[in-house]
């Protein structure tokens, strides 16, 4: 049954003040559940409960992992205990739906190949439109009988024999780094060495670094070369103690940006200097004119700031583009975001989805799809009245980015805000706790 569409209403806010604990990292949670399930036993602390991570739990249960979730008094996930399948999945179903999670889709494909039988991997919503050429190509190189719907989209059919070939695997570096992460998780179990060749132009590389970070926890060794990665065969997944999921910079970026736009005194706790590429949001905001204090694992922002437009290369940090585009609409001077052609393969075509919305409000944003750049040529008007965004293409990051405009507008209404729960279910609650005039109805 389809959930009723919700609306997000945001009104002009005078001040944001308070202390917030960053939501747990979605990227780390995905990988900890998946890699922990490849072992015999694993324990995860501070995991993120979201639509995407719930689909990961469901999918890995189908593959044979026994996953027990412990919740706190508010219903958020506190701990996950996993009895894994030791690298030998025994799926209880032949058809697995991964929801709208691109990460889950790319990660599950090679793991399913370690089972035996014919399997259908499907998805829903925006995932139906996202291509998977790189995944299909890589697995065919590994000897897999795999086919996909037109345009390399789901559903994807795999005739699995329980075996994968290693050897040299070439992966297109310009579509997504998730294929590389997926192969790194599976390759340690193979009987021959695997060399993954990407070249030097791999997009979103920090997400691969996150994967390697979690694999290290599980006792897996990966060698990085100038051209890609080498994985030795016959390794065992043996996690050392519990994995503690750090705070999420991707989600916290929206709170940091909000604090730059209005009078504020905001502290966000549990933001470590780890492998997340999106921690670069701090550096970018400071270049734009913000002042951010770091003390231990907390960030403090006391806004507002007179922001200035800069040039930001977001090849490794595509999830920051929606929020940076909105900030550029409140900055003085041109804001240019480069090296983001791969944004076309996200929940929406983010090269255009947020720019089109902001242009309708009076900004001037130019998109060059060939070079993969987004340029804010003219900001939004100083005075913003009431505006309704009728659709956000079910893209959680676009919805959260556009909501920030409401802090400086008379009123902003965003239809279809349900999608925010894909990555940051507590977004509205956290902003309201800080004093924002925001509600979801």
Q: Which residues are catalytic?
A: 319
Structure tokens at 337: 């975001």
Q: In this structure, are strands 373-378 and 153-161 parallel, antiparallel, or unpaired?
A: unpaired
- Name every residue whose Cβ is closer than 8 Å to that of residue 214 and which is 6 or more positions away in sequence: 28, 31, 32, 35, 243
In whole angstroms, give the CA distance from residue 208 to residue 316. Answer: 10
Q: How far is CA 413 from the centre of its chain?
A: 24
- Phi, psi (rounded to 5 degrees) for 43: -135, 135
CA atoms lying within 13 Å on the CB side of residue 192: 10
In whole angstroms, give the CA distance from residue 43 to residue 283. Answer: 33
Put the strands of the sheet holding 228-231 in their side by side order.
167-170, 194-197, 228-231, 222-224
- Name every residue whose Cβ is closer than 8 Å to that of residue 280 and which is 6 or more positions away in sequence: 316, 317, 320
In whole angstroms, give the CA distance from residue 53 to residue 26. Answer: 7
- Best CA proximity match to 164, nearest among 89, 228, 101, 229: 89
Structure tokens at 171: 């992966």
Let me know: does 38 contact 185? Beta carbons within 8 Å. Answer: yes
- Phi, psi (rounded to 5 degrees) for 121: -105, 120
Q: In this structure, are strands 116-122 and 153-161 parallel, antiparallel, or unpaired?
A: antiparallel
- Best CA proximity match to 58, nearest among 15, 93, 9: 93
Peptide bond into 225 cis (omega under 30): no
Q: What is the DSSP letter of 192?
A: S
Q: What is the DSSP letter of 265?
A: E
In whole angstroms, give the CA distance from residue 154 to residue 152. Answer: 7
In whole angstroms, give the CA distance from residue 77 to residue 84. Answer: 19
Q: What is the DSSP letter of 177?
A: S
């Amino acid at each position: 049954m389809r959930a009723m569409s919700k609306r997000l209403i945001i009104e002009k806010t005078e001040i944001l003040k308070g202390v917030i604990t960053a939501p747990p990292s979605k990227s780390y949670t995905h990988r900890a559940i998946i890699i922990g399930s490849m072992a015999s036993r694993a324990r995860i602390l501070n995991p993120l409960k979201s639509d995407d991570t719930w689909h990961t739990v469901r999918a890995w249960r189908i593959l044979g992992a026994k996953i027990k979730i412990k919740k706190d008094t508010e219903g958020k996930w506190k701990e996950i205990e996993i009895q894994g399948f030791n690298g030998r999945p025994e799926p209880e179903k032949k058809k697995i739906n991964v929801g709208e999670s691109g990460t889950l889709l790319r990660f599950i494909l090679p793991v399913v190949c370690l089972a035996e039988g014919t399997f259908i991997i499907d998805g829903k919503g925006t995932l139906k439109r996202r291509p998977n050429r790189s995944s299909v190509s890589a697995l065919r190189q590994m000897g897999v009988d795999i086919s996909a719907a037109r345009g390399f989209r789901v559903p994807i059919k795999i005739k699995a024999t329980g075996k994968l070939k290693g050897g040299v695997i070439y992966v297109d570096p310009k579509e997504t780094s998730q294929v590389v992460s997926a192969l790194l998780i599976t390759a340690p179990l193979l009987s021959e060495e695997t060399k993954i060749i990407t070249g030097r132009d791999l997009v979103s590389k920090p997400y691969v670094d996150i994967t390697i970070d979690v694999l290290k926890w599980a006792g897996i060794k990966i060698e990085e070369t100038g051209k890609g990665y080498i994985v030795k065969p016959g390794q065992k997944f043996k996690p050392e103690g519990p994995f503690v999921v750090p705070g999420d910079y991707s989600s916290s970026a929206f709170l940091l940006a909000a604090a730059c736009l209005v009078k504020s005194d905001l502290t966000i706790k549990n933001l470590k200097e780890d492998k997340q590429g999106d921690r670069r949001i701090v550096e970018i905001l400071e270049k734009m004119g913000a002042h951010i204090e770091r003390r231990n694992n907390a960030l403090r922002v006391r806004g507002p700031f007179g922001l200035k437009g800069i040039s930001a290369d977001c090849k490794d940090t595509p999830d920051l583009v929606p929020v940076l585009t909105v900030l550029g609409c409140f900055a003085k001077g041109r804001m240019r975001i480069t090296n983001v052609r791969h944004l076309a393969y996200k929940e929406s075509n983010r090269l255009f989805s947020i720019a089109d919305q902001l242009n309708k409000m009076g900004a001037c944003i130019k998109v060059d799809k060939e070079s993969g750049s987004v340029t804010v040529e003219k900001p939004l008007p100083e005075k913003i009245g009431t505006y309704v965004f009728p659709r956000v293409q079910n893209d959680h990051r676009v919805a959260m980015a556009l909501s920030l405009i409401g802090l400086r507008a008379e009123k902003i209404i965003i239809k279809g805000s349900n999608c925010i729960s894909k990555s940051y279910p507590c977004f509205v609650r956290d902003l309201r706790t800080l004093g924002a005039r925001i509600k979801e109805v």
